[in-house]
Amino acid sequence: MAKYLAGECTAEEEREVEKWLKQEPNRDALMGELRQIWYAKQPNTKQHDVSSSLERLEKRLDADSEASSGTGYGAKEIDRIPAATGSAHHAARVRSRKQQRRSAMHWIMRTAAVLLIAAGITALSIFLYQTSVQETAELMGMREVVTGHGERATIVLDDGSQVRLNVGSSLMIPETFGENTRTVHLSGEAFFDIVPDSRSFRVHTDIATAEVLGTRFNVYSYEEEPCIKLIVTEGSVRLLPSEETYGRHEGVMLSSGEMGIIDRLSPGEITMSHHVDVDRFIAWRENKLIFEDTPLEQAARVLNRWYGVEVYFSDPEISGLRLSASFRNEPLPEVIRVMALSLNLSYEVKDREIHFKPSE
């Protein structure tokens, strides 16, 4: 974008930018506002009111958001499914237009304007040359499906693939997949049922990437958890650390019944487990909550995502106790009662807070 404004693009780069501009009628106007800001920063040019230009840019961004929102979200269908457990029976939601304004497209455009004003062209050139024009355009077309406490969603993508999104998760989906790859971005947990296609399907998380052609697998990648887990239920999946966190890495190929784990403290290392109990890891799809020798501190984070409660411990040693229990469609009071009984603890409930302490 910076080279385009400066007139330093190659012919191919110029065609890419102009192709992007033609995709939405409002984008040409957006470029006009950026061009005015750019000229205001150049020597020997007539200055103008930069604040007014930024205000007009905001309005253009709003118009572009509305023009591009439409009904499609890179998915043919989004079923809103509240979790059957707990009291948080809410519908999964797609980001509102006001939130969509904070999507990658608008962030890039606003960043471009701020960098042009505050730091000139050097910082912007560095940023944009780290991301190709094609990648930037792909980010601009993203939409986000979000689930909160106790919410789940089933999304049917435009290639026929299905994604089941677990509680407290988000999935970034392009409006249309590219010619060579089908790429989504996940934060949280989701089960993928991918339709075979000549294009590879990639799931990016903050520290790892899963790549397939067509298969079924589960990705567990909550950023507050110490590791990510990929469990294959059918077919094969390549798991590799993301280039952003570890550089180039060949990754490992996982087959049905295998699990790959990447520790956030050692993102370049992948641990494999064979003959895992797949059903245990995907039981959440049937509203089953299973703890198997799980530290109580980790179980507390799960309760927060499922029921929207905060869990506290009167003694730090309590957080390390190991819990083994399973629940299905159980209300929160019953879950807490069983957990306390299993670990010989007492508890107190205050609003949306659970306080565990040793039994007296």
Q: What does pLDDT average to in each consecutive run of 10 residues of the chain (360 residues)?
A: 57 67 62 55 45 54 49 51 46 46 51 48 40 43 89 94 96 89 95 94 93 93 95 95 65 94 90 94 95 96 96 94 95 95 94 91
Q: How far is CA 248 from CA 209, 212, 245, 268, in A?
A: 12, 18, 9, 10
The pTM assigned to this predicted structure is 0.64
Q: Note every long-range contact of 253-262, with CB atoms under 8 Å and residues 24 or more positions apart, other chains counting.
A: 254/217, 254/230, 256/232, 257/232, 257/233, 258/231, 258/232, 259/229, 259/230, 259/231, 259/232, 260/229, 260/230, 261/227, 261/228, 261/229, 261/230, 262/207, 262/208, 262/227, 262/228
Mean pLDDT of the chain: 76
Query: pLDDT tens digits, residue range 230-264?
Result: 999 999 999 998 765 555 667 899 999 999 999 99
Predicted confidence at residue 251, as pLDDT, reads 86
